[in-house]
Amino acid sequence: MTPVKNKMILSIVLIFVGVSMTILGIVFLSRSSEKISEDIVTPTKEIPETIPDKQKGDDFEKYIVQKFSKIYFSIVEWTGDKYVDGMYAKSNTNPDLTLRFKMKDIETDFAIECKYRSDYYKNGVEWCTEQQLQNYKTFAKDKEIGVFVAIGVGGLATAPEELFIIPLTEITGNFVNKSFLNQYKKEKLKDSNLFYDYQSGRLK
């Protein structure tokens, strides 16, 4: 066999070996990449649970209701705040709860508007709109009963850190600051219920 032919054969063999090694390398890298992909676990970002404002409002109303003894109090009305396409019952503009206090020969009604806020805003709480405030004052005048505003702040709607019970007659605007609220703070919140002092017309 001539030297030229030997060189050609050797070249072909080297080319074949090179191609084979390239193919093997590609296969190896491909399998390694698949193995790495299987081993890597993409961390799942925990999405914090968000509770709609409507549900928070409902939960806080239930919390307030449970603060009254069934022995002396009963629910006269509990507004549902239901509406569709701008149409709603007139009662939706009333305070959330109308309760009846009854003890021996004493029987009287009063109402409560319940507002829960996760935190303070500008060192206070914007608890309603100007129109809502006017609606509650009109309700109190027409029904001739006491109306109170229960404001819960912090914690959960089912267990607020702070609770304030304010007579509507002492509220002049839809925003109340912390110094004003602190005058009506409910102490020993976890261990005590709410009680209506019918003689002074105060909810404590």
Is there a single domain that holds both residue 96 and residue 167? yes
Nearest to 140, CA basis, from 164, 113, 114, 165? 113
The CA-CA-CA angle for residues 204, 193, 73, to 5°, reads: 85
**Strand pairing class (124-126; 87-88):** unpaired
**Domain CATH for 94:** 3.40.1350.10
CB 200 within 8 A of CB 146: no
Query: Considering the chain, what is the average pLDDT of its residues?
Result: 80
Is there a single domain that holds both residue 23 and residue 68? no
Rounded CA-CA distance 138/126 in Å is 20
Range of the domain at 10: 1-44
* pLDDT value, residue 54: 85
Q: How many domains does the chain have?
A: 2
* pLDDT value, residue 201: 92
* pLDDT value, residue 129: 96
* pLDDT value, residue 53: 84
Is there a single domain that holds both residue 57 and residue 17? no
Is there a single domain that holds both residue 31 and residue 99? no
Max CA separation in the chain (angstroms)? 130
Is there a single domain that holds both residue 71 and residue 13? no
* pLDDT value, residue 74: 97
CB 185 within 8 A of CB 162: yes
**pTM given for the model:** 0.71
* pLDDT value, residue 191: 81
Backbone angles phi and psi of 10, in degrees to 5: -60, -40
pLDDT in tens, 148-196: 999 999 999 999 999 999 999 999 999 999 999 999 999 988 888 999 9
* pLDDT value, residue 88: 41
**Low-confidence stretches of the chain (pLDDT beneath 70):** 1-52, 81-92
